[in-house]
């Protein structure tokens, strides 16, 4: 890595490049990243294996952040300017591999506000969002499903708080509900 840290290339590819991981233990025999079990989304789970989450209730003015592009769904809160340490986020990548971003919530992320923003969006934005959701077998109501919870211990890390958006963070930007500030 350019920062001097050691990494191993997984067989997973993003934007035409192999994705580095901090340890060979984070990949399977085929070299693919061993993500947390499907349906857990990296949250701590209860005794039945269900993620322990609650509605995120994000309000205008709150700040969230993430490592990686706005194409992802997972963020963490930035409370009183305090950034969640990288080693509490449960990420397989070496620190510094993905660009760090901060976003401000522009309008309370309520069901009403999200659906109204979608209704008022340009047709091209609505179509892009619809197609992406359909590809994943979801409908527009999924945009309002924003939840938060404790990050499970994965990839040797965890314990922080994560916020999972219903779909790509970029869609909320397109709808004018979230804006990048850093």
C-beta of residue 162 within 8 angstroms of C-beta of residue 65: no
Decide if 86 is inside a domain.
yes
Joined tokens for residue 123: 């047709």
Using a 10 angstrom Cβ sphere, with 0-12 exposed, 13-18 middle and 19 or more buried, the burial of residue 64 is: buried
Q: How many domains does the chain fold into?
A: 1
What pLDDT, on a 0 to 100 scale, did the predictor assign at position 148? Answer: 98
Decide if 150 is inside a domain.
yes
CA distances from 161 to 14, 31, 43, 77, 150 (A): 25, 28, 9, 7, 5
130 Cβ contact partners less than 8 Å away, ≥ 6 residues apart: 140
> Is residue 1 classed as helix, strand or coil in its secondary structure?
coil
What pLDDT, on a 0 to 100 scale, did the predictor assign at position 17? Answer: 87
Decide if 21 is inside a domain.
no
User: Which helix (H) or strand (E) covers residue 73, if one does?
Assistant: none
Decide if 158 is inside a domain.
yes
d(CA 182, CA 167): 21
What pLDDT, on a 0 to 100 scale, did the predictor assign at position 15? Answer: 83
Per-residue confidence of the chain (182 residues) as pLDDT tens digits?
A: 566 667 889 999 988 889 899 998 999 999 999 999 989 999 999 999 999 999 999 999 999 999 999 999 999 999 999 999 999 999 999 988 899 999 999 999 999 999 999 999 999 999 999 999 999 898 888 999 999 999 999 999 999 999 999 999 999 999 999 999 99
What pLDDT, on a 0 to 100 scale, did the predictor assign at position 44? Answer: 97
C-beta of residue 154 within 8 angstroms of C-beta of residue 34: no
Decide if 7 is inside a domain.
no
Decide if 8 is inside a domain.
no
Decide if 27 is inside a domain.
no
Decide if 16 is inside a domain.
no
Parent domain of 157: 37-180
């Amino acid at each position: 890595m350019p920062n001097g840290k050691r990494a191993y290339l997984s067989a997973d590819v993003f934007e035409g490049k192999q994705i580095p991981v901090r340890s060979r233990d984070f990949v399977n025999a085929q070299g693919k990243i061993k993500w947390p079990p499907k349906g857990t989304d990296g949250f701590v789970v209860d005794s039945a294996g269900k993620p322990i989450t609650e509605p995120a209730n994000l309000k205008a003015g709150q700040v969230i952040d993430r490592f990686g592009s706005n194409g992802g769904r997972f963020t963490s809160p930035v409370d009183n300017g305090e950034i969640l340490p990288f080693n509490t986020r449960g990420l397989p990548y070496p620190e510094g591999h993905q660009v760090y971003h901060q976003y401000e919530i522009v309008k309370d992320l309520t069901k009403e506000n999200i659906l109204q923003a979608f209704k008022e969006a340009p047709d091209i934005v609505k179509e892009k969002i619809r197609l992406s959701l359909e590809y994943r077998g979801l409908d527009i109501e999924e945009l309002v499903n924003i939840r938060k919870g404790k990050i499970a211990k994965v990839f040797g890390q965890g314990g922080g708080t994560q916020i999972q958006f219903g779909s790509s963070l970029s869609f909320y930007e397109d709808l004018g509900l979230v804006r990048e500030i850093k």
